[in-house]
Amino acid sequence: MKQKIFRSIADLRFAIFILLLISLFSITGTVIEQDQSIETYKMNYPLTNPVFGFLTWDRIIQFGFDHVYKTWWFFTLISLFSISLISCTFLQQFPSLKIARRCQFFRTTGQFYRLKISTLLSNFSLNKILLRIKNNKYSIFQQKNIVYCYKGLIGRIAPIIVHFSMILILLGTIIGSLFGFKAQEIVPKTETFHIQNILNNGQLTVVPKTSARINDFWITYTKNKTVSQFYSDLSILDNQGNERDRKTISVNYPLISKSVYYYQTDWNLIGLRFQNLNNEIIEYPLINVFKNQSKVWLTWISNNSSLTDGIISIIDNLEGYCSVYNENGQFLGNIELNETVNFKTPLTLLEIISSTGLQIKTDPGIPIIYLGFFFLMLSTLISYITYSQIWIIQKNQQIFIGGNTNRAVFEFELEFFKFIK
């Protein structure tokens, strides 16, 4: 009974059906935004106007379409597909390989008629044929007047390696979904931070209680004054606050510490720091006025406590200066770092306070997925190895010879005729 169940699971039609379901739900997870807030789904999939006539936010939440790849039913489909691959490997592929390794002698000449190529030779030397076959790297097995030869047996293990690689990829996917996480942190320069703003994580994720410090942040610009690259000097600290790892990260060049990746993703300006004549430090917050377009920040620098008199400071880069306008919008000039602007109370610009945007993530399943893809590419190369077989029966002065191959039939025919010419 158990064997019958496993044979049904190992059936190709069952595997294709499960694979189609996985593909269908993967497409669903691509179309529907994943791991968003309920408000986002209420806005995009309202009850009063269902998408496609049936898709509303409550159904998305109910069936887990907001986190497709972490639902129990998606894990179940992946598990069923993995079991199907394992069952197929042990119930079909391994027995097939075992049969291929056996010496499959032909006992009657009638068996030659089902081969792709066969012929009858008269007054021909069997030893001469076997020598030519051996020179072409065939393995030869002989019992008196019957001979069996084959080469390229390793090509028969390609399907097994394909199954193994797919199982590794699926296993890595499950491990990544269960134990991985992704976080986003906006950190001012020189500040120390912990991983807190978790965007998504698996059911078994343990977020590391690691602290890190932004030592410095800067931006390089092109000749056209557009951003070329932005950098963060990042230190990873141990439990005692000592520096464990340090690297200057930039876009596409992360810091990796204990399998946790720290990516440079964004930047922001958060304030201007001034000093007055009394050596008092005054900070003015910056507001990003075009959040969805180019980065431009401004702030109001007041001359009095009632905030009714002052100037407007605008900044759109991190090159060490800001532009100043009066309350009527008239341009007054640029203020550079350590330069004093003459108000009723003179102020010296000490610092343009910046912050860096980091994406922090870990996916313990990635190495397993990469290993799976390695074996998948290896199986592709192995599959190009041709598995060829030759059978010979000698009766009196006649030699019956024939052969089969699983691919490259034309090349095999040329090789076959060289043996008997």
What is the domain partition of the chain in residue ranges? 2-96, 103-152+386-420, 172-267+357-367, 269-352
What is the distance, to the nearest Å, from the Cα of residue 208 to the centroid of all Cα atoms in its chain?
Answer: 22
Question: Is a pLDDT exceeding 70 seen at residue 304?
Answer: no
Q: pLDDT band at residue 132, thresholds of 50, 70 and 90?
A: very high
CA distance 18 to 174: 16
Q: End-to-end alpha-carbon separation of the chain, Å?
A: 54
Residue 370: predicted pLDDT? 95
Answer positive or negative: Cα dihedral of 417, 418, 419, 420: positive
Q: pLDDT band at residue 404, thresholds of 50, 70 and 90?
A: very high
Question: Is a pLDDT exceeding 80 seen at residue 23?
Answer: yes
Look at 20-29, 279-288, 289-298 and tell me which has the smallest mean pLDDT. Answer: 289-298
Residue 412: predicted pLDDT? 92
**Matching residue, tokens 């496609």:** 52
| Burial label, 222 (beta-carbon count in 10 A; 0-12, 13-18, 19+) | exposed
Question: Is a pLDDT exceeding 80 seen at residue 390?
Answer: yes
Question: Is a pLDDT exceeding 80 seen at residue 160?
Answer: yes
Q: Any idea how long the chain is? A: 421
Query: Per-residue b/e over 376-392, b at no fewer than 16 CB within 10 Å?
Result: beebeebbebbbbbbbb
Spatial strand order in the sheet of 310-315: 287-288, 297-302, 310-315, 321-325, 331-336
- 273-294: average pLDDT: 82
Q: pLDDT band at residue 292, thresholds of 50, 70 and 90?
A: low
Residue 237: predicted pLDDT? 93
Question: Is a pLDDT exceeding 80 seen at residue 184?
Answer: yes
CA distance 262 to 188: 16
103-152+386-420 maps to CATH 3.40.50: no
CA distance 60 to 46: 11
Q: pLDDT for 40-89, tens place per residue?
A: 888 888 888 888 888 888 888 988 888 888 888 998 999 999 989 988 88
Name 390's bridge partners.
Answer: 149, 403
CB 177 within 8 A of CB 362: no
Higher pLDDT, 98 or 45: 45
State the average pLDDT for the chain.
88
- 360-377: average pLDDT: 94
Which residues does 198 contact at the CB level (< 8 Å), separation at least 6?
181, 182, 183, 207
CA distance 331 to 322: 11
Residue 290: predicted pLDDT? 74
Q: pLDDT band at residue 307, thresholds of 50, 70 and 90?
A: low
Residue 302: predicted pLDDT? 77
**Matching residue, tokens 């179940």:** 76
Question: Is a pLDDT exceeding 90 seen at residue 396?
Answer: no
CB 392 within 8 A of CB 146: yes
Residue 1: predicted pLDDT? 64
Question: Is a pLDDT exceeding 90 seen at residue 276?
Answer: no
